[in-house]
A and B are shown apart, each in its own frame.
Chain A
């Protein structure tokens, strides 16, 4: 059928111009990949045996839930996305997806991800996934983001929850180790985003988003980045002597933590011109590498005995 009947409503219905790729863009694939990775670490680190099919099901549900959050975030933030150069090419401001399509897409994915995780894995994990989506969309996007300078500090909890959801999906219970993973991502979020905000502050100012550099100024932001980085590296390293993670993780957390701390000091010292922008960009880029290195090491440490058993 290529003819849409509009006799009964009197106005021409809107015909969607959206490509499949536009809907994929609504899922924020890059954020999704980080969510999948950290959730996988939560699943693999969890004690006991998880059947690969159950693990894969959990990962798919968590990934789709994260994508749903992204779509709902883009639906709500479409006004400010159109004002910022970083987000102006997202599907809604570009005009390829209507806000109603994005909202429906996000809601349907939310429903299916949570219910499927509940039915096929366990309802504790499903409840936590639902809470994560709620926290990101309602608490962060709708409330904190435009209201307080602490937006990404508190909102960072949503991004920190996937490994906990993964752990709960695997075990049906909670423990200290996944909470440490949560804490590492939670403390990582502010310096990571504030480094970005330092060289994108014009964008945020234009959109009237109260990011720290816009409200408190770049120097106060540099100090906060340094303080959070000290706290982050201390917590990340402490997890090793406290016995939660192995020696490989300990070495990586010390070496990469030293690198991150050095870059945070560099941001604090470089306050003018191109050198300041370069320092912020380096901090932003390295912070992604830092988190990846920590979680990849945890993944390898957890996989080595399993692979060894299979080979032996």
Chain B
């Protein structure tokens, strides 16, 4: 699982392994899905409540 360390010149940095890239892509998709659900939730409640979405207790 180790990261491939490259040294010398301008390319110094950490290069992710294929497995690390795959896992990061999966995590990114999961975050995108979660944000998408949040957007849909706000949209749906706004449709249901209409202008009343801004009038809540407290």
Which of chain A's residues have a CB closer than 8 A to the CB of B58?
A: 122-124
Check if A53 sits within 8 Å of B27, measured CB to CB. Answer: no
B3 & A15 in contact (Cβ 8 Å cutoff): yes
| Contact, CB under 8 Å: B30 / A120 | no
Residues of B within 8 A of A16 (CB): 20, 23-24, 27
Q: Quick check: is A19 within 8 A (CB to CB) of the other chain?
A: yes
- Beyond A17-B20, A122-B57, A123-B56, whether A57 also contacts B13 by CB under 8 A is no
The reply to whether B23 and A4 contact each other, CB–CB distance below 8 Å, is no
Choose among A12, A19, A121, A123 the residue that contacts B5 (Cβ–Cβ < 8 A): A12
Q: Restricting to B13-53, which residues have a CB under 8 Å from any CB of A? A: 13-16, 20-21, 23-24, 26-27, 29-30, 37-38, 41-42, 44-45, 47-49, 53
- Note all chain A residues with C-beta closer than 8 A to B3: 12, 15
Q: Is the CB of B16 within 8 A of A116?
A: no
Please report the C-alpha to C-alpha distance between residue A4 and residue B3 in the assembled complex, in whole angstroms: 11
Chain A residues 1 to 50 lying within 8 A of chain B, measured CB to CB, are: 2-7, 12-13, 15-20, 23
Residues of chain A with a CB closer than 8 A to B38's CB? 112, 116
Complex Cα gap A119–B5 (Å): 46
Identity of the chain B residue whose Cβ is nearest the Cβ of A2 in the assembled complex? B16
Q: Is the CB of B23 within 8 A of A116?
A: no
Report the bound CA distance from A51 to B30 in whole Å. Answer: 28
Q: Is the CB of A124 within 8 A of B57?
A: yes
In this complex, which of B3, B45, B47, B53 has the most chain A Cβ atoms within 10 angstroms of its Cβ? B45
Which of A3, A13, A16, A112 neighbours the largest number of chain B CB atoms within 10 Å of its CB? A3
Q: In the complex the two chains form, what is the Cα distance from A35 to B20 in whole Å?
A: 34
List residues of chain B with CB within 8 A of the CB of A6.
12-14
A172 proximal to B (CB < 8 A): yes
A54-B13 CB under 8 A given contacts A2-B21, A20-B27, A172-B57: no
The answer on a CB contact under 8 Å between A120 and B57 is no
The CA-CA distance from A119 to B47 in the complex, in Å, is: 14
By DSSP majority rule, is chain B's interface helix, strand, loop, or mixed? Answer: helix
Most buried by A among B1, B12, B14, B38: B14
Alpha-carbon distance A60/B42, docked complex (angstroms): 12
The listed residue (B1, B5, B24, B45) touching A54 by CB distance below 8 A is B45
Q: Please, how many angstroms separate the alpha-carbon atoms of A291 and B55 in the complex?
A: 37
B27: A residues at CB distance < 8 A: 16, 18, 20, 23
Q: How far is the CA of A4 from the CA of B30 in the complex (A)?
A: 21
Picked from B20, B24, B30, B49, the residue with its CB within 8 Å of the CB of A23 is B30
Bound-state CA distance A118–B45 (Å) is 12
The chain A residues found within 8 Å of chain B, CB to CB, are 2-7, 12-13, 15-20, 23, 51, 53-54, 57, 60, 112, 116, 118-124, 172
Chain B contact residues, CB within 8 Å of chain A? 1, 3, 5, 11-16, 20-21, 23-24, 26-27, 29-30, 37-38, 41-42, 44-45, 47-49, 53, 56-58
Query: Which A-B residue pairs are the 6 nearest by beta carbons?
Result: A123-B58, A3-B13, A120-B45, A4-B14, A20-B30, A53-B48
A-B contact pairs, 29 of them (CB 8 A): A3-B11, A3-B15, A6-B13, A7-B12, A7-B13, A12-B3, A13-B14, A15-B16, A16-B23, A16-B24, A17-B20, A17-B23, A18-B23, A20-B27, A20-B29, A53-B45, A54-B45, A54-B49, A57-B41, A57-B44, A57-B45, A112-B38, A118-B56, A120-B41, A120-B42, A120-B45, A122-B58, A123-B58, A172-B57
- New A-B pairs, 18, CB < 8 Å, besides A4-B14, A23-B30, A122-B58: A2-B21, A3-B11, A4-B16, A6-B13, A7-B12, A15-B3, A16-B20, A16-B27, A19-B26, A20-B27, A53-B47, A57-B41, A57-B44, A119-B56, A120-B42, A122-B56, A122-B57, A123-B58
